[in-house]
Amino acid sequence: MLRLARLSHSSARQQARKTAILSVNRPIYLKNEVKSGNIVDYIAILLLICMRAPIQQMQWTTANTKQQETHMPRDEIYTQQNAGTGTFEFNEAVVDVFPDMLRRSIPGYEASIRAIRALARQYVQPDSHCYDLGCSLAAATLAMRQGIDVSGCRIIAIDNAPAMVSRCKQIIAADKSDIPVDIVADDVRCTPIDNASMVVMNYTLQFLPIDERQPMIGRIAEGMRPGGVFVLSEKVVDEDPGIEALLIDLHHNFKRRHAYSELEISRKREAIENVLVPESVATHKARMLAAGFQHVGVWLRYFNFVSLVAIR
């Protein structure tokens, strides 16, 4: 019996590896592979793909990323002498280097954008609205646009930073897709949410005052269709001070590996303090459940950066 169990386990592992290898060599649209609403299976497959990707594929991705980096304006904002004064804001200087800033500051950011595309393919409903709240340079908007495969959908992308909105319009205009996108210069707290089958807040809620976050999540839930999906990505704090200290240290090491100096790390932290106010995962989950979402869970995490998914 023991020998049979081992053989069975080995067989399952080999099949899992084959599945993962096939998945990383083709677009991952799990609509036909995962039953609608089965988040556990979806997360399992996503994690399997991440863990079992072949070395060759990883090497190709690294080479491709390095090639893209050579064409990306570099974030050197906090190397300048006057960079230590004032708080962080999404101005023209930030917009110019924003893709590089995200890549070097937020571990797992690119994976979350790819996963948003897969979720759009699975959960966006015909004749519905999709929202990108705090759209910045439209990364999540484009991911949804690429993933949607049903008719009658419209994406509404909201941001209150004029420099972001201006650049976002250029990016969307250059993208070839028939799915309409409305880019709106507005505060997300003033945006009406209606007929929504997908809403994304990618590192946006953390910039709102804490007492305004529950009403914001409540309005999102009220404006969503049954079965719709809400993606919330945030920097978080751990309730265990020891783990929190570890996560901060790991994040700073991540920045060092991406060529940020100690001065830049320190200045950025001072500039963003009291502007970005993180909360715990438990707080986010409780808030979404209180708003009326039926299922809530973490689906991606890298150090203290977390993406949660909620089903209405």
List, in sequence order, every beta strand (DSSP E) within 6-135. 129-133
Note the Cα 309 to chain centre separation in Å: 10
Round the average pLDDT of the chain to a whole number and report it: 80
**In this structure, are residues 247 and 302 in contact, taking their beta carbons and an 8 Å threshold?**
no
Is 65 inside a domain boundary? no
Q: Is 43 helix (H, G, I), strand (E, B) or coil?
A: helix
**Above 90 in pLDDT, residue 280?**
yes
Which is more confidently placed, 24 or 279? 279
Is 172 inside a domain boundary? yes
Do 52 and 81 fall within a single domain?
Answer: no
**Residue 205 phi/psi, 5° resolution?**
-60, -35
Do 129 and 249 fall within a single domain?
Answer: yes
Do 50 and 93 fall within a single domain?
Answer: no
Is 229 inside a domain boundary? yes
Do 124 and 90 fall within a single domain?
Answer: yes
- CATH number of 253's domain: 3.40.50.150
Domain of 226 in residue numbering reads as 73-311
Q: How many domains would you assign to the chain?
A: 2
Is 67 inside a domain boundary? no
pLDDT digit string, tens, across residues 61-70: 333 334 344 4
**Residue 233 phi/psi, 5° resolution?**
-110, 135
**In this structure, are residues 99 and 71 in contact, taking their beta carbons and an 8 Å threshold?**
no
d(CA 140, CA 100): 16
Do 88 and 216 fall within a single domain?
Answer: yes
Which of 17-26, 49-58, 198-207 reaches the highest mean pLDDT? 198-207
Do 176 and 33 fall within a single domain?
Answer: no
170, with CB counted inside 10 A (0-12, 13-18, 19+), is exposed
Q: Residues 241-268: what's their mean pLDDT?
A: 94
Is 141 inside a domain boundary? yes
Do 79 and 51 fall within a single domain?
Answer: no
**Above 50 in pLDDT, residue 231?**
yes
Q: What is the pTM of this model?
A: 0.75
Do 208 and 112 fall within a single domain?
Answer: yes
Which is more confidently placed, 23 or 160? 160
**Above 80 in pLDDT, residue 57?**
no
